[in-house]
Amino acid sequence: MEEIHEEFSSGQYTILSAHDPENLRVGRHYHEDKSLHPNAIYALERDETRPNSTWQVEHRGGDEHILKCNGAPTVAHDLHLFAILTEEPERTVWKINKQARGGYTIVNKEDPIGASWVISFVEAHDEKPIAVRSLIVFPTYPPTYP
């Protein structure tokens, strides 16, 4: 994938799915568990996420960012993305890469294989959790990805 290197600034954002940017927003489900356990992050229909699709990006210098969903830092755990409601575990440091054909990929900065955010489509469920794994890329020009 061809990346465009530009600095991604701190601020509030909405993350849309490249798969269906008109309808799918990335965020916490409004029916999430109310305990302090980590909560999964999903690609959800536009009306299912508010206000849980507000993201805070904290630029830490260079290409390092901390991403928070509705105020909770995110972490890659067990191949999925979670919002952490307590400060116990180490937060994941993310790298945000702008792609030449539009959009961004969000990569685990500390992962040796560069695991990225990917929507997990499960046929039997309406929910689409965000997985953190290697992108499946075939050699094409210009580069494309699922």
* Cβ 83 vs Cβ 41: under 8 Å: yes
CATH code for the domain in which residue 98 is found:
2.80.10.50
- 87-91, long-range: CB < 8 A, 24+ apart: 91/66
Containing domain of residue 58, as a range?
3-133
In a domain, 23, yes or no: yes
**pTM of the entire structure?**
0.82
129: Cβ–Cβ under 8 A, 6 or more apart, which residues? 40, 41, 42, 80, 81, 119, 120, 122
| Number of domains the chain is built from | 1
Query: pLDDT (tens digit, 9 = 90+) per residue, 56-104?
Result: 999 998 889 999 998 999 999 889 999 998 876 678 999 998 887 778 8
In a domain, 140, yes or no: no
Query: pLDDT (tens digit, 9 = 90+) per residue, 94-146?
Result: 999 888 777 888 999 988 888 998 888 765 566 789 999 887 665 555 555 55
Has residue 33 got a pLDDT over 50? yes
In a domain, 145, yes or no: no
Between CA 124 and CA 121 the distance in angstroms is: 9
Between CA 102 and CA 95 the distance in angstroms is: 16
| Continuous H helices in the chain | none
Has residue 28 got a pLDDT over 80? yes
In a domain, 76, yes or no: yes
In a domain, 142, yes or no: no
Query: Residues of the chain with pLDDT > 90: what percent?
Result: 24
In a domain, 27, yes or no: yes
- Per-residue confidence (pLDDT) for residue 29, from 0 to 100: 84
